Amino acid sequence: MAVSPIDDYDVVWDSPSGDSSESMPCGGGDIALNVWVENGDVLFYISRSGSLAETNEYLKLGRVRLKLDPNPFNTPGATFKQTLRLREGYVEIEGVIGGKDGTGLKATVRIWAEVHRPIVHVEVESDHELNATATYENWRLEEEQLANDTRRHASFDLMKYPGEVHLSADTVAFTDQGVLFYHRNPPDNWLRNELIKQQDLGAYRDQIADDLSNRTFGGFMTGEGFVEAGQADGRYQTRTFRGWVLKSQIPSHRHRVRIVTHIEQTQTLEQWRDKLNALADSSQGDWGTTRQTTLDWWRHFWERSWIVIHPDKPDAADRAWRVARNYNLFRYQLGCNALGEYPSKFNGGSFTFDANLVGENFKQHGPDWRQWGGGCFTAQNQRLLYWPMLKAGDTDAILGQFELYRKATPGATARVKANFGHDGAVFSEYITVPGIALGMGYGWPTGDRQRGEDIPFGDKRADAMHHYGDPVEKGVMACKPIAYHWESQVEHAYMILEYHRFTGADISRYMTFVESAVLFFNEHFRKRQVMRNGREVDENGHLVVYPAKACESYRGATNPADLIAGLSACLELILTLDDSLLNLRDKAYYRDMLRAVPPLPFGENKGHRVILPAKSWHEYSNAELPQLYPLFPFDRFALGRDDMRVFKDTYTLGDFRKGNVVSWHQDGIFFARMGMTQEAADFNSRKLDDSDRRYPTFWGPGHDWVPDHNWGGSGMIGLQEMLMQTLGSEIRLFPAWPIEWDVDFKLHAPEKTTVQGRLTAGKLTGLVVKPASREKDVVVMPPVRCERASNYTG
């Protein structure tokens, strides 16, 4: 094994790329770069968390093109090498022309992003003097009217909106021996206003967050010894662009280019420019210190945790080795937005490329386009990026997802007050910072996403099976798949409580969200039941959770298993908290609520006891497995404590859709939780194997987009759960681990615990548990010999 556990995982290419779909990720802090070399030019897209336009689209900051003269990257016979230096977090590109007689040329380009400041660095070093040009390229120089077709999928809120939608132009100009570029959103955001009007929430306007008005994002590109060199027009893939060119004044052995970026909501453009200029000025000349700070951050990141399979035999032809490599490569992608204002997005993160290269269905779209929107976050997908951060120890990166819900809580609370007249908060499955419903999902006044007649809360005409155009309860989504689908807010509340259990960190900042998300169900379904029959609960003293959904799959559900398990899990942890953390209710309230949570629904299938997705339901659609959510994420059952036969029979005998590996499908997590080693190893091997694209973890599009981040996140969770499960205070090692997989690992467990060790030929050595007091809680299970090991190790 290399000096660092992940040193063997550098990605190395020995030839240039054909286009941006063959790009390599690079980043840090909240900056993401797609880096590739095409036709001798070094190119990279710049993305940054928070670059959201007035349409709530997630726009790139632009593209940079570097040319060297003489050029070692397009000379016939030259040697080429592009490497992601994973441990250091940067991309290096090397080109060599000739050299056997000592007269050849060697040039190296290094591209990296600072972690603690939003600055991108490009360094060129050569043993010969070179000229260099750096061009900033932009394709959004005219206002665009968004066609009412798939073009609006990039906003998603505005899909099928029956009016015009406009995206304003960017501004780009030479200034101060550099290039200034930015997009500034108009004041008093039109989209937020339209959603407030659509949902009749005008009385609560001041409570609803506004993250788009006057938001300005952009930056300044400059180079040491570079001067203005005019403009250049061109076309890349589907978009024409204009480039602002900077060139080196003289040939040199070394060139440096900086791209300083800034994002902020400011009342005036001048305020934004002042902040950008201050950052640009303060970052001059401190390259060495900043570089070391960034290297130190990445070193610490990789020291937090790792999983390395077959550490002594690195072999890309070995699928098991690739599985662990890709686990770590994908973790790097998440690490590039560890400090982001917004969470990493399930549908591409910040590493999307030209949409026409994803597939034939997207051939008309450009580099900013993605399915499922930019500033909206589909909760069931998002969670899969963030659960693995607990065991990976990336608890700085997890906060962006928590902040999304914290910011959205006032709007989600207003939605409940206005429509249902009780306490608590309800969040759209497609969540945005304002916290109110997604426009397209709520339904528009006209068109094929038309909202039907608004009927009062509890009206007997309310039907959980409604379609667009049907009468629908005021405040409820018209879109049938997500109407009454409210489990995700409970799951994110549980994630925050688990974060507290793992780290001991202060969660007071998030407790209003946690309590509002949970108590909503007590207030809401008691009130509904009173409207039905005058009683708050059923004859057994339990809530009647209807109308509801079990995920999106079981519609018109009563007492769905995922929600019931989630409420119990949250309430149990809330009751363990210090009283001072509770803001909205006391523990007596939550104890009473816990007693009122209905039992999980069980039934029979072919004579076997199984867990049902809900007590009853009207329709099945989609392919989620909410009947297994009591296993994960809600930890109601544990290996070694509970009989897993009911879950195995539920999965094996069920006629629901299962076995799909792409995107968010979670079978591999459930297999691990059930102790089904062979099935877990097989599924997660296919899940985490190389993508069909040049970069190994650019999976997708699957159900979502490229690179599919909920594909990678669900794979990470599956591998972690095979290796270590942490229910209650027990730490169970190798609960679903094949003996054929030697592994070196370090993971995090609850109570500020780390567990490190090495398994070789089924024997554990070097076990280190910190703090040592937790050693007594470690249970080492024997790895299992798998009959079909060759299917997933080669």
Phi, psi of 384 (to 5 degrees): -70, -20
* DSSP code per residue over 509-565: GGHHHHHHHHHHHHHHHHHHHHHHHS-SS-TTS-----SEEETTTEEEEEEEHHHHH
For 675-725, the pLDDT digits (tens) are: 999 999 999 999 999 999 999 999 999 999 999 999 999 999 999 999 999
- Could you tell me the CA-to-CA distances from 288 to 22, 408, 458, 752 in Å, in that order? 31, 40, 65, 34
Q: Indicate the pLDDT class of residue 794, thresholds 50, 70 and 90.
A: very low
**What's the average model confidence in pLDDT over 609-620?**
97
| CB hemisphere CA count around 628 (13 angstroms) | 25
Q: Is the pLDDT of residue 464 over 80?
A: no
Instruction: Report whether 767 contacts 779 (CB < 8 A).
Output: no
Q: Is the pLDDT of residue 793 over 70?
A: no
**Residue 287's pLDDT is what?**
81
Q: How far is CA 744 from the centre of its chain?
A: 26
Q: Is the pLDDT of residue 2 over 80?
A: no
Closest CA to 598 of 551, 561, 549: 561
Q: Indicate the pLDDT class of residue 790, thresholds 50, 70 and 90.
A: very low
Q: Is the pLDDT of residue 463 over 70?
A: yes
Q: Indicate the pLDDT class of residue 788, thresholds 50, 70 and 90.
A: low
**Does the CA dihedral 383-385-386-388 come out positive or negative?**
positive
Question: Hey, which residues does 122 pair with through a beta bridge?
Answer: 111, 257
* H or E segment to which residue 410 belongs: helix 399-420
Instruction: Report whether 162 contacts 445 (CB < 8 A).
Output: yes
Phi, psi of 385 (to 5 degrees): -80, -25
Query: Rounded distance, CA 277 to CA 220, Å?
Result: 8
Q: Is the pLDDT of residue 792 over 90?
A: no
**What's the average model confidence in pLDDT over 403-410?**
98
Query: Rounded distance, CA 201 to CA 194, Å?
Result: 10
**Residue 103's pLDDT is what?**
65
**Residue 359's pLDDT is what?**
95
Residues 113, 42, 370, 685, Cα dihedral to 10°? -80
Question: Hey, which residues does 58 pair with through a beta bridge?
Answer: 52
Instruction: Report whether 122 contacts 257 (CB < 8 A).
Output: yes
**Residue 789's pLDDT is what?**
52
Instruction: Report whether 243 contacts 234 (CB < 8 A).
Output: yes
Q: Is the pLDDT of residue 12 over 90?
A: yes
Average pLDDT, the chain: 95
Query: Rounded distance, CA 535 to CA 537, Å?
Result: 6
For 75-123, the pLDDT digits (tens) are: 888 899 999 999 999 999 999 998 655 568 999 999 999 999 999 999 9
For 273-321, the pLDDT digits (tens) are: 999 999 999 888 778 889 999 999 999 999 999 999 999 999 999 999 9
| Angle, CA 599 vertex, CA 595 and CA 603 arms, to 5° | 170
**Residue 100's pLDDT is what?**
57
- Could you tell me the CA-to-CA distances from 666 to 271, 297, 623, 672, 689 in Å, in that order? 47, 32, 10, 10, 15
Q: 295 burial class (0-12, 13-18, 19+ CB within 10 angstroms)?
A: middle
Query: Rounded distance, CA 100 to CA 505, Å?
Result: 59
**Does the CA dihedral 773-398-407-272 come out positive or negative?**
positive
Closest CA to 743 of 757, 755, 753: 757
**What's the average model confidence in pLDDT over 10-30?**
98
For 222-256, the pLDDT digits (tens) are: 999 999 999 999 999 999 999 999 999 999 999 99
Give helix 511-533 / helix 487-503 axis angle, nearest 10°. Answer: 140
Instruction: Report whether 736 contacts 672 (CB < 8 A).
Output: yes
Residues 531, 533, 535, 540, Cα dihedral to 10°? -130
Closest CA to 640 of 784, 755, 763, 781: 781
Task: Look at 334-343, 458-467, 473-482, 710-719 and tell me which has the smallest mean pLDDT.
Answer: 458-467
Phi, psi of 101 (to 5 degrees): -100, 10
Quote the tokens at residue 202.
Answer: 């005008």
**Residue 323's pLDDT is what?**
98
Quote the tokens at residue 538.
Answer: 């059923």
